[in-house]
Amino acid sequence: MKHDISKLCADSLRTFSNEEYNVKLKAAHAHELVAAYFGYLSKNAMLADTNCPISNLAQAKIIVMKPDDFIDQRRKNLRDLPKELPDSYSLGEAVYGPLFSNEWWDSPYPPFRSLVTAAAYLVENNETYKSAFHLYLSTGNNFEQVLVPESFKNNLLLTVYHSTKNSIGEMWCNGKTTINLPRVAGHIGFGLPEMAVEIWTGGARRTLESLGVSYEN
């Protein structure tokens, strides 16, 4: 099934490129691009992944699509790739579209465009978090900062810091939520999240700066 999913997406990509942009994409290029959208640096790397092959997609509960800059970098390294192809976001619709039919993947979670949006969604819909931080949430003075690791192997650990801003603009951290996502299929499919919520009070509170975390609006 691993090859079937890859071929399905490669065929979809080639059809899309031809019909929408009149660009004939070679099968080899299409398969390399599909491997990139699954999170691999090459088709060979995808085929060598026997631990979490893309054929496990039906077992995944959460899918997080690869960012465009990852795809852009892979495109730069492919020789003779047609320059007339559209941007990576547009191509991604042709690659990912077939995966989101119930035949391949069915989950109560929506597909996510990034790990940051996935983390935000999981936190905001977590009952433990909503109960623990309800006072901060009721004031509207509540900010989330998501830390994403630069790389991961079989488990992806996301950290979400929950902060409030004081009168001089300092961001005081009131706690954090850690989200453990076990890798299931390729580098885009994950199992059910394991979440741990911490609330800090009194002396346990600290600024984001002291934690080495930069705040972005």
pLDDT of amino acid 1: 44
Domain extent, residue 43, equals: 2-100
Judge residue 163's burial from the number of C-beta atoms within 10 Å of its C-beta, 0-12 exposed, 13-18 middle, 19 or more buried.
buried
- Decide if 180 contacts 154 (C-beta within 8 A): no
Instruction: Say if 151 falls within a structural domain.
Output: yes
* Cα dihedral sign, 151-121-161-145: positive
Same domain for 147 and 191? yes
Distance CA 119, CA 149 (A): 13
Question: Do 53 and 140 share a domain, yes or no?
Answer: no
Q: Are residues 137 and 87 in the same domain?
A: no
193 and 128 within one domain: yes
Inside any domain, residue 71: yes
CA atoms within 13 A on the CB side of 88: 17
Write the pLDDT tens digit of every residue in 65-106.
999 999 999 999 999 999 999 999 999 999 998 888 767 788
Nearest alpha carbon to residue 99 among 177, 201, 24, 1: 1
Q: Tens of pLDDT along 33-49?
A: 999 999 999 999 999 99
> Which of 52, 69, 100 is the C-terminal boundary of a domain?
100
Q: pLDDT tens, 3-60?
A: 589 999 999 999 999 999 999 999 999 999 999 999 999 999 999 999 999 999 989 9
Residues 88 and 122 in one domain: no
Give yes or no: residues 7 and 78 share one domain. yes
- Residues 64 and 90 reside in one and the same domain: yes
The domain tally of the chain equals 2
Q: In this structure, are 185 and 136 located in the same domain? A: yes
